[in-house]
Structure 1
Amino acid sequence: MADKQPTAAEDAAARAKEAEEQAALPYKWTQTIGDLDISFSVPGNFKGKDIVVEIKKTTLKAGVKGQEPIIQGDLPHPIVVDDSTWTLTPAPDSTKTVEIHLDKHNKMEWWAHVVTSAPKIDVTKVTPADSKLSDLDGETRAMVEKMMFDQRQKEQGLPTSDEQKKADILKKFQAQHPEMDFSKAKMS
């Protein structure tokens, strides 16, 4: 039996439920394709020594010393611990914000949640515009740029980069061999 596509109303209801679940979390989080940032507020008189943050390859624990953690659990995917950090910064409303930056180990996957015990988001709805091409390594960036170029070419009815390359090679070969008849040549 084939999966049926959700109706617009079902999709909107799912998005609303997801937004409600995320808003109910005691922290806020955002992500790019390569990293994830979490933040939560604490009273303004707190100092760094009052905060507990344990960042491990597959687990995270953060909160106020002596209290239940604000976030604690298993991460859905591993992180690079040495490139992950946390800070405590003053906020405009006389509170302070704990900001946690997690560097994803796999730079090519969206996370459905920060910890596996939290409600998930639908990662198929994440818009890649949130990530910048400059965040990608050279080889991946070149591949993505080529795909974007080819997509724009197709939309305009123009040849893709591979088709253009073949045409250029054929043209160069024709120039080198004017005695040959290429009138029946097919590009595939």
Structure 2
Amino acid sequence: MSEQEPTPAELARRDEEEKARKAQEAAEQAQLPYKWTQTIRDVDVTIPVAANLRGRDLDVLLTKTKIRVAVKGQDAVIEGEYPHPVLPDECSWTLESTSHPPGKEIVIHLDKVNKVEWWPHVVVGAPKIDVSKITPESSSLSDLDGETRAMVEKMMYDQRQKEMGGLTSDEQKKRDILRRFQADHPEMDFSNAKIG
């Protein structure tokens, strides 16, 4: 059974739903007391604060699973568990002056443990973004460490094979093992053998 092409009305409805979802997501993110961005490897958070604050006025805690940022004696601006762990020794924060608007901001850098996973939010319970709509920045396979590169290359190969109706690398491996076994055991009947 083949899939029918969507009608122009259906495409227009999907487009409107997508615009509404994006607008709601943007509004939710704008309500947060911080701004955040991410790459596949890390997350950066900026929090505007009063211009007269100094580093010693701040209470900043960055652990493998949690974050807490507050001005001492006040409620936390951001506090909670990350959706995924970070590398605490690679995380940092600084207090920087800003010119537009004049003031200061806390700049937090979080290094992800899992370098192949997008975060839907900085802390669990905060409004989520739709990570399925993220278009990764262009990078080359040579930027990746060996293990990650091998995994990505395998995924790309398997995807190309599926698109062409071919075997994935795992299916090919199973077929090769069966062929070797058949060659080593010609006395056995493999006429009803199924690979899957």
Q: Same fold (TM over 0.5)?
A: yes
Aligned length: 153
Distance 1:84 1:118, change over 3 A: same
What's the counterpart of residue 89 of structure 1? 96
Q: Which runs of 4+ in 1 moved over 3 A?
A: 130-135, 141-152
Question: 1:25-64 counterparts in 2 under 5 A?
Answer: 25-64=32-71
Match of 1:122 among 124, 130, 135: 130
2:109 is the alignment partner of 1:109 = no
Q: Normalising by structure 2, report the TM-score.
A: 0.68
Unmatched segments (≥5 aa) in structure 2: 1-10, 161-168, 170-196
Which amino acid letter does the alignment assign opposite residue 106 of structure 1? N
Which amino acid letter does the alignment assign opposite residue 115 of structure 2? K
Q: Normalising by structure 1, report the TM-score.
A: 0.70
Distance of 1:146 and 1:117 partners within structure 2: 34
CA deviation after TM superposition for structure 1 residue 115, in Å: 0.3
Distance of 2:44 and 2:82 partners within structure 1: 13
What's the counterpart of residue 8 of structure 2? none
- Counterpart contact for 1:113–1:120, Cα < 8 Å: yes
Distance of 1:147 and 1:107 partners within structure 2: 15
For residues 47-93 of structure 1, the C-alpha deviation after alignment (integer angstroms, 9 at most, x for no partner) is 10011110111111002111111101111111111111000011114
- Counterpart contact for 1:34–1:135, Cα < 8 Å: no
RMSD: 2.9
What's the counterpart of residue 82 of structure 2? 75
- Counterpart contact for 1:33–1:131, Cα < 8 Å: no
Give identity over the alignment, percent: 55
Question: 1:144-183 counterparts in 2 under 5 A?
Answer: 144=152
